[in-house]
Amino acid sequence: MSQTIRTTRGRGRLYDSILDTVGDTPTIRVNNLGPDGVQIYVKAEFFNPAASVKDRLALNIIEAAERSGELTPGQTVVEATSGNTGIGLAMVCAQKGYPLVVTMADSFSVERRRLMRMLGARVVLTPRAQKGTGMYNKAVELAQKHGWFLARQFETEANADIHEATTAQEILGDFAGGRLDYVVTGYGTGGTVSGLARVLRRERPDTKIVLTEPANAALVGSGIPQERGEGHGPAASHPAFEPHPIQGWTPDFIPFVLQEALDKGGYDELIPVTGAQGMEWARKLASREGILTGVSGGSTFAVAMQIAERCEPGTVILAMLPDTGERYLTTPLFQDIPEDMDEAERALSESTPGYRME
């Protein structure tokens, strides 16, 4: 049997900064999971330099504000985030020289706040009982008090714009000349689905866009409109919200960025998913495919698997994987992953005489 030795030749270019490496994330075929005859792919957004899809919007928010003059040299940036946008903003601000303050509910994983601080940001925690609207309102207060630039990831046009200009174009290129029957995505701000819909509705009208959200926080599925305040921000917590374990998805309000997809028919089907399903499939992607994604990625993939089970052979499905599993080490995703040797590992250790742990 012949063997192919893998080789690399470099990218053929030198990068001026870490920011030039944002985007162009790979689309990867899933080989060991899923029914026969159905092709499932994942778009691995953890290949972005700060390991999540939010690197895209973080970069565009800052550069759009620079172009418009809203953000001036040395001005402090402030934003409310569950973590990934804050990490992306911390990377961008570190490179460009802007101080960054992040507001974040204390319910989100400690890895996220430590990563932001590692990248030079200051993190202001808000009580978990106040949910996403609490951290959002704190960011607004700080911006107004100190004259800081508020990034407004949940409202800014720069969010969906970057997915229209990059993410959607990458998908068109990756599937050029081939089938693409379904694209599956959840929402945190709604930028991904809104940006993809602008392009896919025009360029790939046969591709169905499937939106997903937590089953116990089905804000879109409830049909209840979001109450909005100044600047299209949330005026109150959405009545259908309940705390859920899919960090990064579905704050306790419907973001204004997502409203575009809701109002303009930017998705074909809405499928809820439980956090338990998301964790189950995140673990299976890791152990069966070597693809390490977080709970949001596992949840998106869980919905892709539901679609795959009902589809005819030949169907092609793409699932968006927003971030890496390493963002979740202190969360329930890893609670059954032991630190110490289990019985089978200890038996392996004891099968030879040397270097045993007592």
d(CA 234, CA 136): 9
Angle between helices 84-96 and 110-118 (to 10 degrees): 0
d(CA 320, CA 53): 9
> Cα–Cα distances in Å, from 301 out to 54, 208, 260?
18, 16, 24
- Rounded to 5 degrees, φ, ψ at 86 are -65, -40
Token look-up 């928010």 returns 61
Q: What is the three-class DSSP state of 162?
A: helix
> Can you read off the two tokens belonging to residue 325?
């599993």
Strand ranges (E), the chain: 27-30, 39-44, 77-80, 100-105, 122-126, 149-150, 182-185, 208-214, 269-273, 316-321
Angle between helices 84-96 and 54-68 (to 10 degrees): 50
Strand ranges (E), 10-146: 27-30, 39-44, 77-80, 100-105, 122-126
Characterize the bridge pairing of strands 77-80 and 149-150.
parallel
Active site residues: 54, 296
d(CA 251, CA 88): 18
Q: Is 268 in contact with 196 (CB distance < 8 Å)?
A: no
> Cα–Cα distances in Å, from 336 out to 280, 282, 332, 342?
11, 13, 8, 11
Long-range contacts of 11-16 (CB under 8 A, 24+ apart): none
Q: Is 153 in contact with 231 (CB distance < 8 Å)?
A: no
Burial degree of 76 (CB within 10 A; 0-12, 13-18, 19+): middle
